[in-house]
């Protein structure tokens, strides 16, 4: 039999326009992020409905988490072990997260920040499995996370940008105020050969960055200061992040000088 607090919780969800009452929630993160989230959920449930246990919180736990007696494990209702080691084995692994959520009948997944929280495959897979993803849609993640798409959106939203291979390319807002980037618009900003890269560099100016949109951590990026460097550097970027779209952007070379006292 549902408690009065449970009934208030259900009514609140409906009142807010929700179609699903979250009963079981998977926390796909660890450390302070997970601990703060769980405490916030508990506080909200207690202050709003008088019962901080209305949502059964399930945590993922690596062997390292368990060995360290990580705080988020103690705060969760229960936790289940996942592979240890680098985060691509656990908290950044979409398959591990979604399998865990499905196996334990979770209504929703909270990814926190870092790890898999910016991987569009996670909200997309959750949606396919009928699990609520607590975060932005996969399309929103792509548009704001991809280096090319986000740089198209910025000037479209009247945010100033430095010169780049997509200078002058913008998209219009839809009737509901949303901004999206279609494939043909995206392609206009990409550079597909060393010859194209050289032409863009000559137009935009030096120094210039040659970047792979899917690069990161120092991979897929080169700074060219003259035209003779472009062909080699373009190929290096293409080889480092194979299959990634490539774009060029003027480098803002700001030099700071101390003022004599």
Token readout for 244 is 């990634």
Rounded average pLDDT over 216-223: 90
Which one, of 97, 153, 105, 88, lies nearest residue 125 by Cα?
A: 97
Q: How many Cβ atoms sit within 10 Å of the Cβ of residue 176? A: 5
Kindly list the structural domains of the chain, giving each domain's residue range(s) and its CATH number in brackets, ordered by start: 4-142 (3.40.50.20), 146-250 (3.30.1490.20)
Contacts of 17 (CB under 8 A, 6+ apart): none
Secondary structure in 3-state letters for 45-103: HHHHHCCCCCCEEEEEECHHHHHCCCHHHHHCCEEEECCCCCHHHCCCCHHHHHHHHHH
The distance from CA 163 to its chain's CA centroid, rounded to whole angstroms, is: 25
**Confidence label for 215 from pLDDT (cuts 50, 70 and 90):** confident
Reduce the DSSP state of residue 219 to 3 states and report it: strand
| pLDDT above 90 as % of the chain | 83
Q: Which of 67-71, 75-79, 154-158, 248-252 has the lowest mean pLDDT?
A: 154-158
Q: Does the pLDDT of residue 14 top 50, yes or no?
A: yes
Tell which residue, 114, 89, 143, has the closest CA to residue 31: 114
pLDDT per residue as tens digits for the range 68-121: 999 999 999 999 999 999 999 999 999 999 999 999 999 999 999 989 998 999
**Per-residue model confidence (pLDDT) at position 179:** 83
Band of pLDDT at residue 164, cut at 50, 70 and 90 = very high
Query: Contact 184/148 with Cβ under 8 angstroms?
Result: no
Using pLDDT thresholds of 50, 70 and 90, give the confidence band for residue 261: very low
108-148 pLDDT, tens per residue? 999 999 899 989 999 999 999 999 999 999 988 888 888 99
> Residue 260: its pLDDT value, please?
53
């Amino acid at each position: 039999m549902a408690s009065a607090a449970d009934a208030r919780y259900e009514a609140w969800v409906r009142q807010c326009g929700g179609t699903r009452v979250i009963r079981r929630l998977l926390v796909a993160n660890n450390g302070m992020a997970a601990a703060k989230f769980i405490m916030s959920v508990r506080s909200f449930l207690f202050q709003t409905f008088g019962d901080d246990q209305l949502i059964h919180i399930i945590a993922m736990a690596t062997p390292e988490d368990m060995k360290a007696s990580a705080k988020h494990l103690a705060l969760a209702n229960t936790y289940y072990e996942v592979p240890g080691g680098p985060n691509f084995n656990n908290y950044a692994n979409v398959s591990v997260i979604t399998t865990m959520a499905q196996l334990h009948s979770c209504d929703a997944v909270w990814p926190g920040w870092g790890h898999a929280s910016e991987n569009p495959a996670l909200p997309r897979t959750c949606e396919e499995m009928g699990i609520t993803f607590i975060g932005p849609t996969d399309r929103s993640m792509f548009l704001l996370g991809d280096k090319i798409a986000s740089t198209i959106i910025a000037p479209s939203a009247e945010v100033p940008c430095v010169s780049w291979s997509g200078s002058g390319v913008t998209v219009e807002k839809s009737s509901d105020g949303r901004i999206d980037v279609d494939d043909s618009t995206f392609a206009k900003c990409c550079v597909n050969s060393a010859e194209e890269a050289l032409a863009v560099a000559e137009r935009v100016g030096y120094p210039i960055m040659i970047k792979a949109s899917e690069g990161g951590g120092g991979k897929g990026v080169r700074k060219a200061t003259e035209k003779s460097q472009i062909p080699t550097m373009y190929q290096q970027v293409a080889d480092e992040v194979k299959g990634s779209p490539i774009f060029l952007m003027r480098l803002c070379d700001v030099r700071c000088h101390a003022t004599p006292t």
